[in-house]
Amino acid sequence: MTALLERQAVLTGAAGGIGGAIARELLAQGATVHGIDRDPDGLRSLGQAYPGRFIPYVVDLADRNATDRMLGLLGTALAGHCDILVNNAGIGRVQSFVTTEDTLLDRLLAVNFTAVFRVTRALIPALRASGRASVVNIASELALIGQPGYTAYSATKGAILAFSRALAAELAVEGIRVNAVCPGPIDTPLLAAEFELADDPLAARAGEIATVPLGRLGVPRDIAGVVAFLAGDAAGFVTGAVWPVDGGKTAR
- What is the C-alpha to C-alpha distance for residues 85 and 75, in angstroms, rounded to an integer? 13
pLDDT value for 2: 81
Number of Cβ within 10 Å of residue 42's Cβ equals: 21
pLDDT > 70: percent of the chain: 100
**Does the pLDDT at position 81 exceed 90?**
yes
Looking at residue 203, the DSSP 8-state letter turns out to be H
Sheet with 32-37: strands ordered across: 54-58, 32-37, 8-12, 84-87, 134-138, 177-183, 242-245
> CA-CA distance, 242 to 252, in Å (whole number)?
17
Q: For the chain, how long is the longest CA-to-CA vector? A: 52
Q: Return the bridge partners of 56, or none.
A: 35
The one catalytic residue among 50, 57, 150, 153? 153
Q: Read off the pTM.
A: 0.96
Per the model's pLDDT, the better-predicted residue between 205 and 190 turns out to be 205
Q: Reduce the DSSP state of residue 133 to 3 states and report it.
A: coil
What's the CA gap between 248 and 113, in Å, rounded?
A: 25
The 10s digit of each residue's pLDDT in 165-189 is 999 999 999 999 999 999 999 999 8
Work out the average pLDDT over 53-71: 98
Start-end of H helices in 40-134: 40-49, 64-78, 102-109, 115-128
Which of these, 170, 123, 107, 91, lies nearest to 11 by C-alpha position?
A: 123
Please state, in angstroms and rounded to a whole number, the distance separating the CA atoms of residues 179 and 240.
5
Asked which of 135-144, 165-174, 190-199 is least confident by mean pLDDT, the reply is 190-199
pLDDT above 90 (res 22):
yes
Check residue 190 and give its pLDDT: 87
CA distance 17 to 21: 6
Domain boundaries, the chain: 8-184+217-242
Percent of the chain whose predicted confidence (pLDDT) is above 90: 96
Which sign, positive or negative, has the C-alpha torsion 203, 205, 211, 212? Answer: negative
Please check the confidence at residue 1 and state whether its pLDDT lies above 90. no
Predicted confidence at residue 252, as pLDDT, reads: 81
Catalytic residue status for 150? no
Provide mean pLDDT across the span 31-52: 97
Other beta carbons within 10 angstroms of residue 225's beta carbon come to 14
Cα distance between residue 179 and residue 238, in whole Å: 8
Across residues 237-248, what is the average pLDDT? 98
Taking residues 45-56, what's their average pLDDT? 97
User: Given 3.40.50.1820, 1.20.1530.20, 3.40.50.720, 3.30.365.10, which CATH number is that of 8-184+217-242?
Assistant: 3.40.50.720
